[in-house]
Amino acid sequence: MSDQSIHIKEPFLMDTGKGKISRKTTKNDILLSLPNIHCAGCIGKIERALNAVPGVLDARVNLSRKRATISASAKVSAEDLICVLDGIGHEAQNLNMQMLAGSETDETGRKLLLRLVVAGFAMMNIMLFSVAIWSGASHATQNMFHWISGGIAVPALIYAAQHFFVSAWGALRRGQLNMDVPISLAIILAAGLSIFETTQGGHRVYFDAALSLSFFLLIGRYLDHRTKIKARSAAQELTALESVSAIRLSDGKRETVEVEDLAVDDIIEVLPGMRVPADGQIIKGHSQMDRALLTGESLPVAVSVGDKLAAGEVNLKGLLTLSVQAIGRDSALQRMAALVEMAEGTRNTYTALSDRAAQIYAPLVHVLALVTFIGWMVVSGEFSLSLNIAISVLIITCPCALGLAVPAVMTAATGRLFKQGFLVKNGTALERMAEIDTVIFDKTGTLTNGHAQIDLNAFREDAISVMAALVNASSHPVSCAIAASIPSGVKPAQVTDIQEVSGKGMTGKWKGVDVKLGQGAWLNAEHSPALKIGQDLPRVIAFKETLRDGAQSAVKALLEQGKSVQIFSGDNNQAVRNIAYQLGGVPAIAEMSPTDKFDAISALSENGARVLMVGDGLNDTAALAVAHASISPASALDAARTASDIVLLNPSLENLPSVLTVSISAKRRVLENFTIAAIYNLIAVPIAILGFATPLSAAIAMSASSITVLLNALRVR
């Protein structure tokens, strides 16, 4: 099931004529991001929960894109559905479908494939007539075959070679030359000369050469396009994560409004499970906030009156009332999106090897063909012969092998990496990966599994049983983390009168004494959370994070390759130091904001470092975009995966160093392909200049060099 959905953008709110706002009763579609789903079981569980919500007409989950598309009545909001999914243990974020409109289709790829098919089909048919002519057909039969070939070739070339014509014309209009200018010139001249010879009953007809040239070059362009198609704008994904509506308080009444209609100093409410729609300050209520994706903090953060919240944070527990302080471009999420846009612009200045070669090669081809034409005109004085030889030079020097050199290798390399669990999204990613000398890791969710576990070694068995009884009655994220850490064989104690004290913790009675589990300040403990049984001193529950599988071996292998490895994290100093110690004492910096990470990587780059960033959260998107190359795990948020060049599909980091070794191998194969193309030109060009090659033999030679390049590219596998 594709997650492509059509958002029915009818007015969500309407004026009743009395100055009040109400929902318009119509159908709407909701798109939710599900960053943590990983199997068919998750799909079934989520779809059943969503379809059970009153007002939901249909819900479908797409595992590959980690999204749910819900068709529902207007009375159902995204926040309602997010709360439902939170209740079954699945994180969800609302995506603005309008922001993503048009990013799901690949019209360019479809057109390239159609042109490739047309060129190939026409080429094969014309080759049949060429074989008949080579076999001895002459006079009227030969002329008839030429006319039929022209009837097939001309419309096929007009359509199939349009990709090169448009690109070449665009370059010429800017007063520049690119690879497509000599390609277009060779195709047009070969076809034009063939049409002229056909009308005159001549024999210099090379429709097959023009189509062969188009066919092989289109293969290269399509392969190149396929390596890039999965990349979409990370800034667009970030914007799509913003809440599309907010609950505003006006004269003591609630009204649901679009986020864009909010103004500074407006009073809004943020319900439990809802994403904060705008930057603001709490004026009423207290809760726990999930800031992991924004700041990298692994544990929920307690907030109360006077604390400031940023757009994009998730309210986990209590009802909050905020005074809006920043909206639109001034919000934290929009500032982060602006950083990503700036970083993407910097990365896009990286020029692929083939483009760099084209800057030198394209002008040389034109000069060579022109000199050949003038030389033969001087020697022979025959226009048709001189043009024929010049066309042969253009075709034989046509950068087909050069055009295939990079995409063929990259396609082979990406296929090998895919088998190892890596999805390469960017066409120049492997070229940049081959240059990496510094690797920066995010901590939470990248080096670690993202969920903190508790250390039970300091607790007696009966205390653990009491703890189990209390957390089983709570849905708080900390309670869930404690419950997940308690061994399955532990039987909950017989705790009665269990109650949840909002914003503080759980309380109950066990064997006639009071038992409490909650915030340290509530229990007179130094740190949170803590457990207190009767009159005993409160015992602090120590949290620990577990390393992601393969993290230690990956870091060790990278160090052995001579790479500099560091950790940049938004989490607290103690948590970061613990992980750095487990990884052999690699350098680490804690409590970094998204801007801090962006600035630090920018500074490293300015000092000549080639940085690979590996991260998974919203706080990493700008860093992922500004780094020389980037990788994010499949569990990362959509925005982080989009900002990265490569997505790690496997939960283990063990194979991560192989990305760098495969990239180095791929770059070596590319340089070998350039060498093959250069040797081919050194041999073939003099033959063409001396007049010993026809356009057809030139096309055959060009095809042979292309096949050689393709075979060499397969060595990467």
Q: Is the N-terminal amide bond of 35 cis, ω within 30° of 0?
A: no
**One domain, residues 122 and 51:** no
Q: Supply φ then ψ for residue 53, to 5 degrees.
A: -75, 125
Would 617 be classed as within a structural domain? yes
Would 387 be classed as within a structural domain? yes
pLDDT of 461: 86
**One domain, residues 439 and 562:** yes
**One domain, residues 432 and 561:** yes
Q: Dihedral (C-alpha) 268, 272, 277, 278: value to the nearest 10 degrees? A: 60
Domain boundary residue, one of 541, 572, 599? 541
Nearest residue to 695 via CA among 472, 445, 459, 369: 369
Nearest residue to 442 via CA among 275, 312, 313, 579: 579
The pair of three-digit structure tokens given for residue 302, joined into one six-digit string? 């307690």
Can you list the residues of the chain whose pLDDT is less than 50? 1-25, 99, 102-104, 230-235, 346, 348-351
pLDDT of 614: 93
Domain boundary residue, one of 490, 519, 541? 541
Nearest residue to 65 via CA among 227, 237, 313, 290: 237
Domain span including residue 385: 107-229+357-409+665-716
Q: What is the DSSP string of 463-505?
A: HHHHHHHHHTT---HHHHHHHHHS-TTPPPP--EEEEEETTTE
Would 219 be classed as within a structural domain? yes
Would 247 be classed as within a structural domain? no
530-533 sheet: strands from edge to edge: 496-501, 505-510, 513-518, 530-533, 539-540
Q: What is the pTM of this model?
A: 0.59
**One domain, residues 572 and 647:** yes
pLDDT of 12: 32
CB atoms within 10 A of CB 109: 14
**One domain, residues 433 and 564:** yes
The pair of three-digit structure tokens given for residue 332, joined into one six-digit string? 């934290």
**One domain, residues 563 and 466:** no
**One domain, residues 497 and 604:** no
**One domain, residues 4 and 25:** yes
Catalytic-labelled residue, pool 80, 442, 571, 620? 442
Would 345 be classed as within a structural domain? no
The pair of three-digit structure tokens given for residue 307, joined into one six-digit string? 């604390």
pLDDT tens digits for range 303-343: 889 998 888 788 877 789 999 998 767 776 676 666 566 55
pLDDT of 430: 84
**Angle between the 78-87 and 40-51 helix axes, to the nearest 10 degrees?**
130
Residue 32, sorted as left (phi over 0), alpha (psi -120 to 50) or beta, turns out to be beta
Residue type, 644: S
Would 338 be classed as within a structural domain? no
Residue 277 contacts residue 319 (beta carbons within 8 Å)? no
Residue 198 contacts residue 206 (beta carbons within 8 Å)? no
**One domain, residues 573 and 446:** yes
Number of domains observed in the structure of the chain = 4
**One domain, residues 78 and 187:** no
> Which residues touch 535 (CB under 8 Å, ≥6 apart)?
513
CB atoms within 10 A of CB 510: 20
Domain boundary residue, one of 69, 88, 105? 105
Nearest residue to 392 via CA among 629, 700, 600, 610: 700
Residue type, 437: D
Would 240 be classed as within a structural domain? no
**One domain, residues 193 and 119:** yes
Find the CATH number of the domain harbouring 78.
Answer: 3.30.70.100
Our answer to whether residue 208 is catalytic in this structure is no
pLDDT tens digits for range 449-492: 766 667 777 788 888 899 889 888 876 667 777 887 788 778 88
Find the CATH number of the domain harbouring 491.
Answer: 3.40.1110.10
Find the CATH number of the domain harbouring 646.
Answer: 3.40.50.1000
Residue 179 contacts residue 160 (beta carbons within 8 Å)? no
CB atoms within 10 A of CB 48: 11
pLDDT of 656: 92
**One domain, residues 382 and 474:** no
Would 507 be classed as within a structural domain? yes
- Cα–Cα distance list, 82 to 243, 274, 323, 485 (Å): 12, 7, 23, 25
- Cα–Cα distance list, 606 to 352, 603, 640 (Å): 20, 5, 23
